[in-house]
Amino acid sequence: MGEDPAKKQESEPLTRSFIAVAIPEGIKNQLSGLQSKLKRAGAEVKWTRPQGIHITLRFLGYMTGPELEKVKEALAETAKSFAPFEVEVKGSGTFPERKRPRVVWVGLSKGDPELTGLFQKLEQELVKRDLGEADRPFKGHLTLGRVKTGKNLNMLVEYLAREGDQSFGAFEAKSICLVKSQLHPEGAVYTVLKEEFFTREAKGK
């Protein structure tokens, strides 16, 4: 992002933030149920609180106030280029491999091309404003939890396999959000700083 974070800290407070697409409460409840099933495996996983589950497009890290204003501009410009689109949350798995998983996730069977396009447009707008490039390419998923140790991993993978290609619901993505992330021992607390709705008219309308 340009200036060294340690130097920025001396001059003004920083905000840990990311850009995401929110998911509805009904799907969060479905995913909470899946987490409950997977917990029976007895693996040591730091589970994402259901209320905090979302589709991350870009993690921004620690930003200054002026940088966040630039992000809001990029958000507004990006949203103009998209119409609402359907997303289906379906399937589950682990990153990077089932034999040595580090992240437990659920996938997307619909909406991934649109989300990828959203990510690419957002990248253009952020880079244009000197806010840097993403550390990694976009891979559409929702994080259910992060594996802490190797305890009972085989059992966890077995429980995941039992879920197969289950659908957890579909929804219409209508907006993109800039979110503040505050880290606490019991889990991160998220606050939406800015939400921009997709305003482009859908094809065929």
For 73-85, write each residue's pLDDT tens digit: 999 999 999 999 9
Give domain limits for the chain.
Answer: 5-197
Active site residues: 54, 141
Q: Are 89 and 168 in contact (CB under 8 A)?
A: yes
Other CB atoms within 10 A of residue 31 CB: 21
Helix or strand or coil: residue 54? coil
Higher local confidence (pLDDT), 8 or 76: 76
Helix or strand or coil: residue 12? coil
Q: Are 200 and 82 in contact (CB under 8 A)?
A: yes
148 forms beta bridges with none
Class of domain 5-197: alpha beta
Question: What CA–CA distance (Å, rounded) separates 30 from 171?
Answer: 13
pLDDT at 200 (0 to 100): 82
At residue 1, does pLDDT exceed 50? Answer: no
For 114-164, write each residue's pLDDT tens digit: 999 999 999 999 999 999 999 889 999 999 999 999 999 999 999 999 988
Helix or strand or coil: residue 187? coil
At residue 20, does pLDDT exceed 60? Answer: yes
Tokens 């003004």: give the residue: 12
